[in-house]
Structure 1
């Protein structure tokens, strides 16, 4: 079981890459990934025999992503009239496409392009994961590539959050306290039942337990902080030194003037891959 959990950790960035593109969101992709890993651990504890752990986990991640999309009840269809054979695009070209662009592809096309051109699976493996025929997987791959290239030519659609003034002021104050290193003031803002999700590392609950979370930030001098948005959600951006792109982001939930939840992606660098982010004044 210990070896199995270690393998899960090794595959986590790869699985997140798939879930994020399937759901159209790095944050939602992390939620789906956590659900998928729980399902995998439960199946293993119940005695599931696994020969190809990578393929098995991808199948679970695929089905969990579809469950999430069905619950969200979105329908984004890209009309295509030609079944054109397309050469394999460079992986870098695919990785630069934003999550929301992937979301505009039909589910099977999205699945095929991500599995083949981002993660390197064969058409046969795609068919197994998506539960379709190899011919259907190949057709979806070809059509998805064509559609994705056309979508990539369109202007970027940056999602700016609509923030009430009081919400902006609270988050701005939170960021400024981080910038000045006044973590005692932040601790005083924590609700008694506050929850911390240090993604890919640990989860804590309760004001006393979470107070030590700020110690790491207080001991580091290289971090810079800024008010921003990630996928249209207000967030604190975390920069490493003089880097132009944030290393991580932090999402905050409030109840009145109290902080009820902190979700910090510092230990999940894979979540920043191709994510939509912007810095706010």
Structure 2
């Protein structure tokens, strides 16, 4: 997770209800919480609702915050839970599958597959509005458990450890879900990108 370049929040003041620190908390984390919710829900109104509910619940629960995780991880967890609740209300929940490893598969093989997922496409393929929109559409089609990990790790740039802490999963489980999300996206996007590259190549002849 990218560290916010600002004076650290005073946790004691926050827990005592200091309005200035509460305002700073909202100002510091609103953008990243909204961005996360928007990626998960693909709806600006729902993302705004999640943003509001996240801070309402966070400010109410702050007196009981024990600091076993970072404040940002705690806020992300609340936002993710709120997003998932909204998805269920919208009846968009996809059944969560077990994330057991395939027999004989290990972390080294997962890392190898990760490298294959994205390295073979030129960077400019991802720079058009059309391809970004297609990627967003395919991300929304991922099962919740895969989509959440992919967004946190590959879009929000949290580390494996931070993602695991946020979702209360093991690091191995995070790596497995991330591998499956990337692989599924590659499979879904392979035809689209092949056609995109062919069209652009032919157009340059």
| Aligned residue pair count | 152
2:65 alignment counterpart: 48
1:29 aligned onto 2:47: yes
- Residue ranges of structure 1 left out of the alignment (5+ in a row): 156-281
- Residue ranges of structure 2 left out of the alignment (5+ in a row): 1-17, 193-205
Q: Which structure has the highest helix share of the two?
A: 2
Q: TM-score under structure 1 normalisation?
A: 0.46
CA distance in 1, matches of 2:51, 2:30: 8
Deviation at 1:154, TM superposition (A): 6.4
Q: Which structure has the highest strand share of the two?
A: 1
RMSD: 3.3
Please point out which of 18, 22, 31 is paired with 2:36.
18
CA distance in 1, matches of 2:59, 2:137: 30
2:186 alignment counterpart: 149
4+ long deviations beyond 6 Å? none
Contact 2:93 2:144 in 1 (8 A): no
SS in 2 for 1:96: helix
Deviation at 1:139, TM superposition (A): 0.6
Contact 1:22 1:65 in 2 (8 A): yes
Contact 1:113 1:141 in 2 (8 A): yes
Q: Which has the higher contact order (CA 8 A, sep 6+)?
A: 2
Contact 1:108 1:130 in 2 (8 A): no
CA pair 55-151 structure 1, distance change in 2 beyond 3 A? same
